[in-house]
Amino acid sequence: MKRPVVDLRHCKMCMACVEICPEVFRCVDDSYIEVVDLEIYPEKLVGEAIDCCPCDCIYWDENESQRTSSSEL
């Protein structure tokens, strides 16, 4: 299953993704963006969020299973 991932190392908390696609991207404690666990993600809206992210820090992970959004380092 593919799943959107936010690279929190580069996220500037501009909130664009949350405004575009609140069912997928959620702001937690005003400190980081979380990707909500869904069975299926709305590809078009997530794609819009990817296009609008000023930091290019949202991407699809094609092999994602149960991880939450986070950087991979």
Instruction: Extract the tokens encoding 60.
Output: 């699809």
Q: Tell me: does residue 24 bind ligand SF4 (CB under 6 A).
A: no
Q: Whose Cβ is closer to ligand SF4: residue 2's or residue 12's?
A: 12
Residues 31-50 binding ligand SF4 (CB under 6 A) are 33
The residue assigned the tokens 């991932």 is 5
Does position 21 interact with ligand SF4 (CB under 6 A)? The reply is no
In which residue are the tokens 């909130």 written? Answer: 15
Half-sphere exposure of 59 (CA within 13 A, CB side): 12
Residues near ligand SF4, by CB under 6 A? 6, 11-17, 33, 53-55, 57-58
